[in-house]
Structure formats: structure tokens, C-alpha cells
Amino acid sequence: MDEDRIDAMLRLGEVHSSILENFVSRVREGARLIDIAEESERRIREMGYEPAFPTNISVNQIAAHYTPFPGDDGSIPPSSLVKLDMGAHDKGIIVDAARTVVLDDRYENMAEVAREALLKAIERMAPGRKLIEVSEAIYETIVSSGYKPISNLTGHKIEIYRLHAGIDVPNVPVRGNYRIKEWDVFAIEPFVTTPDSKGYVVSQGEPLIFSLRKKVGTRDEVERKVLKSIERNYSKLPFCERWIWNEMGARVNDVLIRLTKKGALFPYPPLIEVSGRPVAQYEDTILVTPEGAINLTGGNK
């Protein structure tokens, strides 16, 4: 990997970490979800980058993939557990990070276990090691602390303009022989829930986030306009209706659903812990160098 790209990744990670920590401080009871999402995305753009995906604000049993829709009047509820997940990119170079904000002391330890599992996983990120060893670190940290990992959510390899590049980092060890390579980039993200939960998520509700799957033909003028906007602005990175609405000035959720049914878009519905238990998450983006792992988004964590 050339030095210019490494420098770009380091700068992006530092800026993104600062933005994320700033908006973590804004997650408080009564704060409007749409304000947090849109202001955080705006801040990324003001710093000269682009969001790699819509800001996710997932509350309590919602583990991931909730972003506000146009006109969303939702707010942070009292005594909640909030996952703030943000991504940024610089001409396709991507960083992805998340933090859990605890508004109920009962969940403080669970969130800390998620953070500790992330740190233990990063310790095992080195060239030549099997990725399953990273999963083992996550699993062992969570289970030994009396909690349960989410079995069907994973970290993921990142490549240029590819947020999910085909190699997963499960929170539960499974078969896999992938060996970590020099200059690999991975988002590591332990998800933790209560010991009495079932420990897996299911999709619930209409998708709020989408990505381009393939080009399709359509005679519908609005569908063609929306597809052109997606291809021009987002490539295959995730986007949401809010972003299309900001450009077109109209609700287009029904258009996005139609395009999904035609195979043009890949949908990301909200993911809910199936037994309704709260979920904590911590995530950072890791660059693997010949000397070991660099936490690009760790900030002062």
C-alpha cells in the first residue's frame, strides 16, 4: 500500500473519530434522531469527506440499520441504550466506527464488555493470524463476562468503495481459514446482549437504507431519475431516502421499494434482537500493517 493512501486513511480516521465522539455527546434523552443524523452527516461533508453510509441511530433492541426517514419525529427515549454508527469515505477509502451511549446504569457493564471485546479482538489483528482467532477473542470476552454475543452480526473487511468486501468477522467463532494479510482493512464490531436473550437478530419493518445492486431498465420516469441519482452520487455505497429527498424535494420511499422488488437495490431493514433484549455495540476500523494493527478510528479510546 502506497504512503499517500496510508496517510489519507490516517487523516480520515482521525477526523472521523473526532466527529463521532462529538456526536456521542449529543445523544441524550429527548434529542431528535433526525437532527443527530443530518447534522453528523453534514459535519462529515464540511470536513471535506462524504458519509460512507447514513448515520445509524439504533435504540435498545434495535441492533443496527435504523436511520431516520424524512419527517421522522422520533427522539432518544429515557433509560435507553443507543448505538451511534457512522462512516466516512475519501474517494472510496472508508472508515466505519460505532459507540454505545448508556442512558440507564443497568447497561453500563454490558456496553463496557462490548468495548473490551473490541480491544481484545484488535490485539489479535496481525499478518498471518487466522481471522477465527479474532472471533474467539470477541466470543471469549463476552461469554466470560456473563453476556451473550449476537451470533448473526459480524464485522467485515473493507476495500475501496466496498463497505462489506466479502470477508466477515463473526462474533461467534465459526469455521474459516482466512489469514489476515498485510494492509487488510477490517471493521471489527462486537455486538453484546443480555444472557437471557436468544442472541440473534431478525429484520423488522420496511428498509430505511439501500445500496445499488445492479442497473435495471424501467419505463417509469421517477424510477429512472432516482436510479441516475443513486449511480451518480453513491456508487454501491449505502444511502437512504433522506438523501434522495434532499435532492428531489419529494418522498420517494415507494419508488425505492419498487426498485428493490425489481432487483435494482439491496435493502437493509432495521435489525432487531429477536427476544426484544437491548444490544450494545462498539466498532472501529483497523489497518493491518507489517508491524501490527493500527486503530484508525480509535481516537483516545
Instruction: Please state the residue numbers annotated as binding site for substrate.
Output: 65, 164
The one catalytic residue in 38, 96, 223, 241 is 96
Q: For 100-138, give one letter per residue: b (16+ CB within 10 A) or e.
A: bbbbeeebeebbbbbbbbbbbbbebbbbeeebbebbbbb
Residue type at 229 in one-letter notation: S
Active site residue 189: yes
Instruction: Answer yes or no: are the C-beta atoms of 20 and 44 closer than 8 Å.
Output: no
Asked about 223 being catalytic, the answer comes back as: no
Binding-site positions for a divalent metal cation: 85, 96, 156, 189, 283
> Is 85 known to be catalytic?
yes
189, 223, 273, 284: which one is catalytic? 189
Catalytic one of 38, 41, 85, 184: 85
Look up 164 and say whether it is catalytic: yes
Asked if residue 118 lies in contact with residue 188, where contact means CB atoms within 8 angstroms, the answer is yes
Write the Ramachandran bin of 218: left for phi over 0, alpha for psi from -120 to 50, otherwise beta: beta
Helices (H), the chain: 3-24, 33-46, 108-123, 131-144, 221-234, 241-248, 253-261
- Of 168, 223, 283, 284, the catalytic one is 283
Which residues carry out catalysis?
Answer: 85, 96, 156, 164, 189, 283
